[in-house]
Amino acid sequence: MRHLLLSLLMLLAAPACAQDLAQVLDANRAQIEQPSRQTIAPVIEALAAAGPQAGAVLEAWADRRLGLADGRFVIVQGDEAVDAVTGAAVRGEVRVLRPNSGVRGIIGAALVQFQLSDPDPSRRAAALDAIARRSDETHLAALRAAGNDPDPALAVRKARLERLLTIRFDPDPQARVDAIEAFSGDTGADLQAVLNPLLATTRIAAPTIPGQANVAAELIPGDDIPQDEAYRLLVEAGLAPARLAPDAQKQALSAHIVEGTVGGVPVAELSDPARRDTAYDALAEVGLVPPAATAAEAEAALSGHRFADIYAEPNAQITDAARRALNAMALRQGAQQTADLALDALSLASIYFLAAIGLAITFGVMGVINMAHGEFIMMGAYTGYVVQTLIAGRTLSLIVALPAAFIVTFLAGVVLYRLVIRHLVKRPLETLLATFGLSIALQQIAKNIFGTQARPLTAPAWLEGSVGFGEIVSISTIRVAIFVLALMFLGLFLWIMNRTRLGLEVRAVTQNPGMAASMGINPDRIAMLTFGLGSGIAGIAGVAIGLFAKVTSELGSDYIVQSFMTVVVGGVGNIWGTLAGAALIGGLQKGIEVINPANTLAAQTWMILLIIIFIQFRPRGIMPTRGRAAEA
Amino acid sequence: MTALLEVSGVSKSFDGFKAINGLSFSIGPAELRAVIGPNGAGKTTFMDIVTGKTRPDRGQVLWGERSRSLLKLSEAQIARAGIGRKFQRPTVFEDQSVADNLTMALKALRGPFAVLCWKPSAASAARVAELAGDVGLAERLAHKAGELSHGQKQWLEIGMLLAQEPRLLLVDEPAAGMTLAEREQTTTLLRRLAETRAVVVVEHDMDFVRRLNCKVTVLHQGSVLAEGSLDHVSANPEVIDVYLGR
Amino acid sequence: MLIRKHPSVLVFLALLAVFTLAVTLMSEAYGSGVVPTSTVKTLGKTLCLALAAVAMDLVWGYAGILSLGHMAFFALGGYMIGMWLMYARTGEIVAATLASSPVPPTAEELRQGITGQIFGVVGSTDLPLTWSIAGSLPMQLLLVLAVPGLLAFLFGWLAFRSRVNGVYLSILTQAMTLALSLWLFQNDNGFRGNNGLSGLQNIPGLSHVPQSVISIWFLWASALLLAGGYLLATWLTAGKFGSVIRAIRDDETRVRFLGYPVEGYKLTVFTISAMICAAAGALYYPQAGIINPAELAPIASVYLAVWVAIGGRGRLYGAVIGAVVVSLLSSWFTGGRAPALDLGFYRIDWVNWWQVLLGLGFVAVTLFAPRGLSSLVDALAGLRPPRRRGADLGPDAGALREKEAEA
């Protein structure tokens, strides 16, 4: 409607053209009132040439909104009507013109051309959109006739559209092939939508393959298509009689039971398929049932006919070009998806790294497996949730939640160490079980406090959305943030271990506890701090994971096995090993998902199997602790 | 006389540190040999390589009349071939009785199914009693090994070694933690054993080595520095320099 | 011979027989009916769990291999017998339906009918290859032992060969059961995905026998199997073999230098234990009625370890005590029959707090009573003459009881 008002305004501004329009309308009044498809073309051309305001008239005509009132042409707008030439409101009875669909098609084509040369760029863009949505061969001519668009962006679009339509509608095959080849390197969805139908095939069965058919592939029954399927094609094409289905046979047999026998075969023997055939054949011989095609006949029918997929597009040159173009396109898309996948794997690896780093510290430094590590992750996530319910601002609450989670889980770790782990020194398996007991208790406590339903931990607005690279590759901002967080922790860990007193003491205790103790280092205190540190990092990982996963009491157990795998695969006591382990596991999981995208369960199964096999060859992980100590 | 064990040109390094460097060593079927050397000379690694615990980077370890290579064999296979090892710290199974410990060590088929079908016989009980008598534990057969004193555990372990009937015995610092009387006893035992089999004693204690009165091999930085009688090697200036002199 | 050396076995078998007899006499089918059928089933299942715990004790308490994937074997045993139960039972139903047609069904029609009934839920119309012998009871019974045994053998061979042990091995076994459960969760693998196998309590050919009677039969079978498994485990742990595996637990390296192929022993124990577990599972799931991949979740296997630890590992009766006490307590608490504890400000509802109690109790047992509940039995036994010389340094049930017999 806005277009219409706009053009009406322009109508007032250009009275000279209005005169033309009025003349053309008057001159062709009869034709316009009673249009016929054969003769209307010159009228429409004349109208189209009558200046830009004529567009409104044509549009209205095509929409069955053009009418006559008191001998004047009016355009109906809802309940009102305006004069088609002057734009003045008209009262009175309006007789609306009803052109048939053939005429409307011709009007539409003229209208497109008209709109394509409209002075208003937004109308020209709208016209292009309309063509891109639904097009037929008349549009191709219109596009070509419209010439170059003054707006460079629109000109590009128009040229592209023209080439797409050339592929579909140009009568000259060479022009179509050229157009396809001109698109080389393009991966646009519109191009795919044009190319794919060109390769549509139908499956036929015939005594011989028609000479003019554009054959996609000839099919050998039994190899390329199942024999049953091939025979079904024959039946559908009327080239062979339908075979007797077991159900039909059974029905026919049960319909002809005579004194406990069918065709001379006792009913009790009919559980044998061979006996059923005998009975049926006997019935067929006396004409009670139609004879069924035998296996030999079916075989002969299959070998006597040929089966093929035939392109709907008869020209082989075009289908070849389209297939080449689509293959190239698939290749490029594959490359882009690989890049996307690499990013996905990277973010997954950072999550595993975050989840595993605390575990690696406690396991690597103290040789203690903390089965409750997953529950520390969960504790961190719930801390984040609680902080968020207390502090309104999301950014602020996140800033508070990170250290809060660290403190909570650090304290939990220290308490766990003092109460349990220090009493189980040198009994790794019992530590594993005791911490497991704690893990079931913690999980249930969380369930009792927070309920079983998932709690949201909402990310601040600036972490929502995604960062894009190119058309297909994009990665959500949260995942980038987690990657950054993982890097920060790597840096932090390296700094603590290599640059601080604590790190020095930790390394001393790891290498030789007795010697360290004699140097005045308290191994118990160091172990406690290390354990607290590992647990604290788990808490922060929990906040990070909670930002994109639902916070439930099972959050930790979802990650614990992968975390263990990361540590075990990476090798104990080496942060770079943990990093390599996380990268391997993240990459492996994503990689397997590509091979079998529909089935993430299968991906996980295979990943675990691969890891079990990997452990066979590197029992001490990717980066093992080396030296004589390792051999002992 | 062909050698029972022939070690030639063996090297092994850990993270760049050469624990054993081109070591060659050989011992006859019935011979007592003491191996001495300062800390880090490669004594323990040498025993680890012979018993299959550590694989050398280079070199040959040949065993027996048919010169079988030991490098491809597992620890258990080497033990079954007839090499027994006594560790520095007594390692017995503390939670099982002395009789169980000895029974386990008795020379017999070692496979899981053979062991499942194994039944104690009068002969095996007599052999266990005899071994216990040899090492002075006849009274304590039914006791758990964990209840024994340190010295008794040493003896139990020696008893277990004897039960294995090895052709070569590797003994790591047998005198450590023993009283003078026990040392005397140990010396006598080792000398007696060496009459029928090869015995290699790795030892720190020069007095003990002197008492053994046998051929001595001095290791230094992973290779053989000197070999001969104790008096001979004691006179070697290099040996004095690296070991005895200090 | 075995019983003379280990009188505890006799005590155990006597207790088991008395228990079974008592339950039978109180059951609805053969006795006063004081014990309802559902309880009989629970007790029968508990006996199966006890056998699984004995198997777990064999690998962990005696051979020192902490397997956190043993329930995988248990559930696999259940799956194997469940395949026959479901196939044969569905076969009966399908045959009954097809019998209304005047023409007798062919074998193919029968099979298609069964396939449709069993695999309709996962949208499959073909009978998976794994089910091709599901109609044969002897074959499936063979598979009950063969499949878990083979899995344990392969896994153990890979793991022990590369000398993966301790915590690493535990994690690896956990990964194994996780992988298996994820695999079974997939619909297209022929085990009905997360639907699992159901209706297993209906025994083919016994549709005329009421469940109350069947439950007692299963109780007897479970008791017999437990007795057999217990005897087998005692035999394994009693002689020189037991001596060697306990030695492996305490000092693997030393055993190697004695000339024993440690890997072979571990593999033997692991495989036998897996097969015992599988047999227990094959009796458990017909009483439970349903099996699904969640039964293989790593947590289930850890619970098995918890039972053994609470009962006292290194003693076969300890494993039985642990499994029986914990699983019965667990069903008592989670069944809502335990009275809630009112603290004034908070009401402790045991359905919700039982897990917490179990978890913390387990931590406490690990810390303060590493030998578990069976140390109570030992303490009771200790009231009588046998002197215990020196510290009881480890779990050695055999030696202690031997002296008891002499006293």
Q: How far apart are the first and last CA of chain B?
A: 37
Residue C186 three-state SS = coil
Whether residue A628 has pLDDT greater than 60: no
State the Cα–Cα distance between residues C373 and C325, nearest whole angstrom. 9
Q: C243: closest CA among B128, B244, A532?
A: B128
State the Cα–Cα distance between residues C37 and C24, nearest whole angstrom. 11
User: Is C390 within 8 Å of B103 when comparing Cβ atoms?
Assistant: no
Q: What is the mean pLDDT of chain A?
A: 80
Buried-exposed string C253-273: b where 16+ CB fall within 10 A, e elsewhere: ebbbbbbbbbbbbbbbbbbbb
State the Cα–Cα distance between residues C313 and C58, nearest whole angstrom. 9
Alpha carbon distances (Å) from A542 to A102, A271, A385, A550, A592: 67, 64, 10, 11, 26
User: Is A601 within 8 Å of C185 when comparing Cβ atoms?
Assistant: yes
> Of the given ranges (A231-245, B20-34, C240-254), which has the lowest mean pLDDT?
A231-245
Q: Would you place residue C386 in the very low, low, confident or very high pLDDT band (cuts 50, 70, 90)?
A: very low
Supply the pLDDT for residue A472: 57
Supply the pLDDT for residue C1: 56
Q: What is the mean pLDDT of chain B?
A: 85
- Give the gap in angstroms from C-alpha A292 to the nearest C-alpha of chain C: 19
Q: Would you place residue A307 in the very low, low, confident or very high pLDDT band (cuts 50, 70, 90)?
A: confident
User: Is A267 within 8 Å of C103 when comparing Cβ atoms?
Assistant: yes
State the Cα–Cα distance between residues C407 and C405, nearest whole angstrom. 6
Supply the pLDDT for residue C260: 92
> Of the given ranges (A248-257, A402-411, B2-11, C225-234), which has the lowest mean pLDDT?
A248-257
Tell me how crowded residue C372 is: count the other CB atoms within 10 A of its CB. 26
* Closest partner CB to A616 (pick from C108, C109, C162): C162
**A601 contacts on C by Cβ (under 8 Å):** 182-183, 185-186
User: CATH assignment of A334-460+472-631?
Assistant: 1.10.3470
Whether residue A111 has pLDDT greater than 70: yes
- Does some domain include residue B65? no
State the Cα–Cα distance between residues A181 and A632, nearest whole angstrom. 68
pLDDT tens figures, A180-229: 888 777 777 778 888 888 888 888 888 887 777 788 888 888 788 888 88
Q: Would you place residue A18 in the very low, low, confident or very high pLDDT band (cuts 50, 70, 90)?
A: low
User: Is B74 within 8 Å of C256 when comparing Cβ atoms?
Assistant: yes
Count of domains observed in chain B: 1
- Give the gap in angstroms from C-alpha B235 to the nearest C-alpha of chain C: 37
State the Cα–Cα distance between residues A10 and C216, nearest whole angstrom. 97
Supply the pLDDT for residue C384: 43
Tell me how crowded residue A470 is: count the other CB atoms within 10 A of its CB. 9
Q: Which value does ipTM take for this structure?
A: 0.87
Q: A145: closest CA among A105, A111, A107?
A: A111
Q: B101: closest CA among B59, B65, B137?
A: B137
Q: Between these two residues, C63 and A301, which has the higher pLDDT value?
A: C63
- Residue A217's beta-bridge partner residues? A309
Which residues neighbour B24 within 8 Å (Cβ) at sequence distance 6 or greater?
B7, B8, B9, B10, B224
Q: Between these two residues, A83 and A396, which has the higher pLDDT value?
A: A396
- Give the gap in angstroms from C-alpha A621 to the nearest C-alpha of chain B: 17
Q: Between these two residues, C317 and B41, which has the higher pLDDT value?
A: C317
User: Is C393 within 8 Å of B84 when comparing Cβ atoms?
Assistant: no
Supply the pLDDT for residue A379: 93
Q: B74: closest CA among C49, C252, A560?
A: C252
Supply the pLDDT for residue A242: 76
- Per-residue tokens: A474: 């994009």
Alpha carbon distances (Å) from C9 to A509, C395, C402: 48, 16, 12
Q: Would you place residue C352 in the very low, low, confident or very high pLDDT band (cuts 50, 70, 90)?
A: confident
Supply the pLDDT for residue C279: 96
**C105 contacts on A by Cβ (under 8 Å):** 271
- Does some domain include residue B201? no
Tell me how crowded residue A481 is: count the other CB atoms within 10 A of its CB. 20
B11 with B18: CB under 8 angstroms? yes
- Does some domain include residue B157? yes
Chain A's closest residue to B49, CA to CA, is A631
Supply the pLDDT for residue A409: 95
Chain C's closest residue to A246, CA to CA, is C109
Supply the pLDDT for residue C323: 93
User: Helices (H), strands (E): how many in chain C?
Assistant: 16, 4
DSSP H or E segment with residue A32: helix A29-33
Supply the pLDDT for residue A470: 58
Q: What is the mean pLDDT of residues A391-402?
A: 87
Whether residue C285 has pLDDT greater than 80: yes
Q: What is the mean pLDDT of residues C85-99?
A: 90
Chains that contact C by 3+ CB pairs under 8 Å?
A, B
Q: What is the mean pLDDT of residues A147-156?
A: 79
* Closest partner CB to A445 (pick from C109, C170, C356): C356
- Give the gap in angstroms from C-alpha B76 to the nearest C-alpha of chain C: 4
User: Is A631 within 8 Å of B15 when comparing Cβ atoms?
Assistant: no
pLDDT tens figures, A22-36: 777 777 777 777 777
Q: What is the mean pLDDT of residues A472-490?
A: 80
Q: C308: closest CA among C74, C75, C52, C72?
A: C52
Q: How far apart are the first and last CA of chain C?
A: 18
- Give the gap in angstroms from C-alpha A37 to the nearest C-alpha of chain C: 55
Whether residue A170 has pLDDT greater than 90: no
- Does some domain include residue B28? no
Supply the pLDDT for residue C72: 95
- Give the gap in angstroms from C-alpha A603 to the nearest C-alpha of chain C: 9
State the Cα–Cα distance between residues A510 and A524, nearest whole angstrom. 12
State the Cα–Cα distance between residues A569 and A561, nearest whole angstrom. 12
| Total-model pTM | 0.80
Q: B231: closest CA among B40, B38, B24, B34?
A: B34
**A627 contacts on B by Cβ (under 8 Å):** 14-15
**B20 contacts on A by Cβ (under 8 Å):** none
Q: Between these two residues, C112 and C390, which has the higher pLDDT value?
A: C112
Q: Would you place residue A473 in the very low, low, confident or very high pLDDT band (cuts 50, 70, 90)?
A: low
Supply the pLDDT for residue C264: 94
Share of chain A above pLDDT 70, in %: 93
Identity of the highest mean pLDDT range in A36-45, A329-338, A535-544: A535-544
Q: Which structural domain, as residue segments, surrounds residue B136?
A: 91-165
Whether residue A471 has pLDDT greater than 70: no
pLDDT tens figures, A98-109: 787 777 777 777
DSSP state letters, B67-125: TEESTTS-HHHHHHHTEEEE-SS----TTSBHHHHHHHHSSS--SHHHHHH----HHHH
Q: Would you place residue A468 in the very low, low, confident or very high pLDDT band (cuts 50, 70, 90)?
A: low
Q: What is the mean pLDDT of residues A487-511?
A: 84
Q: Between these two residues, C391 and C85, which has the higher pLDDT value?
A: C85
State the Cα–Cα distance between residues A126 and A123, nearest whole angstrom. 5
Residue C355 exposed, middle or buried by CB count within 10 Å (0-12, 13-18, 19+): buried
pLDDT tens figures, B96-114: 889 899 999 888 888 888 8
Phi, psi dihedrals of residue A353, rounded to the nearest 5°: -60, -45
Q: Where are the domains of chain A?
A: 2-187, 202-311, 334-460+472-631
Q: Where are the domains of chain C?
A: 2-406
B33 with B209: CB under 8 angstroms? no
Size of interface A-B (CB pairs under 8 A): 11
**B84 contacts on C by Cβ (under 8 Å):** 257
State the Cα–Cα distance between residues B194 and B190, nearest whole angstrom. 6
**C254 contacts on B by Cβ (under 8 Å):** 87, 91, 93
Supply the pLDDT for residue A11: 44
Q: Would you place residue A624 in the very low, low, confident or very high pLDDT band (cuts 50, 70, 90)?
A: low
Torsion of CA A319, A321, A327, A329, to 10 degrees: -120
> Of the given ranges (A75-89, A349-363, C175-189), which has the lowest mean pLDDT?
A75-89
Q: What is the mean pLDDT of residues A377-402?
A: 90
Strand B198-202 relative to strand B215-220: parallel, antiparallel, unpaired?
unpaired
**A628 contacts on B by Cβ (under 8 Å):** 14, 19, 45
> Of the given ranges (A228-237, A470-479, C338-347), which has the lowest mean pLDDT?
A470-479
**B144 contacts on C by Cβ (under 8 Å):** 389-390, 393, 396, 399
Instruction: Please report where in the chains the tokens 């790294």 appear, as a residue.
Output: A353
State the Cα–Cα distance between residues A230 and A222, nearest whole angstrom. 8
User: Is C396 within 8 Å of B80 when comparing Cβ atoms?
Assistant: no
User: Is C298 within 8 Å of A561 when comparing Cβ atoms?
Assistant: yes
User: Is C174 within 8 Å of A561 when comparing Cβ atoms?
Assistant: yes
User: Is A604 within 8 Å of C163 when comparing Cβ atoms?
Assistant: no
Q: Would you place residue A508 in the very low, low, confident or very high pLDDT band (cuts 50, 70, 90)?
A: confident
